[in-house]
Amino acid sequence: MRKKQKICDRLIPIVLIAVFLISSGMFLRDYLSYRQADDEYAALNRYMTADGSGNPDGQNSENGGTGADNAADGNSQKNRSTVPSWALPFDFFYEPLHVDLNALSEKNPDFVGVIDIPALEIRYPVVKSHDNEEYLHRTFDGTQNAAGCIFLDKDAPADLSAQNTFVYGHNMKNGSMFGKLKEFRESGAVDRFPYVFLYTPEGTFRYRIFACSEVEASHSIYLGFRDGEGYDAYIRMARNLSAYSMPENDEVDFAERPKLLSLSTCTGSSHTMRYVVQCALVEKN
């Protein structure tokens, strides 16, 4: 009996040390993976800047001119005739991005645009593949990484012409990718700045958030609709599910059936639960 006790006494520290080493190794692996992805996406920020000084390599941008030209007149960006009309009423809160679409397209042919969610400081390039698997663990530059990339649903037109476009991103533990979306659960978080922007070759899309919901991955919110009545029923369902209520006197008129943008990520509480932020198009420039 004593012999067995001695063996147990010796094994317990060994097991604890092994558990510690394995846990430390997993933590280090995750840290390095997060750091690698964060560094990559931070480097891409120079192609999507808010001060008009993008295009650091001095190449011609999609709006013409060189990076040096854009930097020189960055302070007068708001006075240009090219500034979208929707930027003027709330430019105190939001500076429109200068996005070098050409440079990002050259880096990745699957590039379709840049998503910007100012309230949560989410800003990433968006891609589209032939399936919804490729970019789950592949970053924008093609590196294998758990962070993956923000991507459009495989069946969504890249020009955002679908009546409801789904965009997916991981709920990363360090808050990267769509890891901050769940912050919209907080009371008043959406109304602080309720807009999502997509900068694409087809133009700049401004969407107004109208619903934030937690649903099962198999929920009908991920299904489409065939006609106007189906659209109306879908909007009623989305708003009934939502923990957020958009003011009735807001700029969104669902009677006109504006196109929708739905952002989806995992909740972190269950493998089958998803957090969905839904938006309606209010202007395109």
Give domain 86-284's CATH number out of 3.90.226.10, 2.40.260.10, 3.40.50.300, 2.40.160.40: 2.40.260.10
Q: Which residues on adjacent β-strands are paired with residue 118?
A: none
**CA distance readout (Å), 243 to 184, 189, 215, 260:** 9, 12, 11, 18
Instruction: Count how many Cα atoms sit within 13 Å of the Cα of residue 143 in the half-sphere of its side chain.
Output: 15
- DSSP-assigned letter for residue 144: B
Active site residues: 170, 266
Contact 89, 78 (CB under 8 A): no
Per-residue pLDDT of the chain (285 residues; tens, 9 = 90+): 565 565 565 656 665 555 554 554 554 455 556 688 899 999 999 999 986 444 434 333 444 333 333 333 433 333 433 444 344 455 557 889 999 999 999 999 999 999 999 999 999 999 999 999 999 999 999 999 999 999 999 999 999 999 999 999 999 989 999 999 999 998 888 988 999 999 999 999 999 999 999 999 999 999 989 899 999 999 999 999 999 999 887 789 999 999 999 999 999 878 899 999 999 999 999
Contact 111, 62 (CB under 8 A): no
Q: Which residue has the tokens 């931070």?
A: 42
State the pTM of this model: 0.78
Q: Which residue has the tokens 């360090």?
A: 174
3-state secondary structure of 85: helix
Beta strands in the chain (DSSP E): 48-49, 98-99, 111-117, 122-127, 150-152, 164-168, 195-200, 203-216, 260-266, 273-284
Q: Domain boundaries in the chain?
A: 86-284
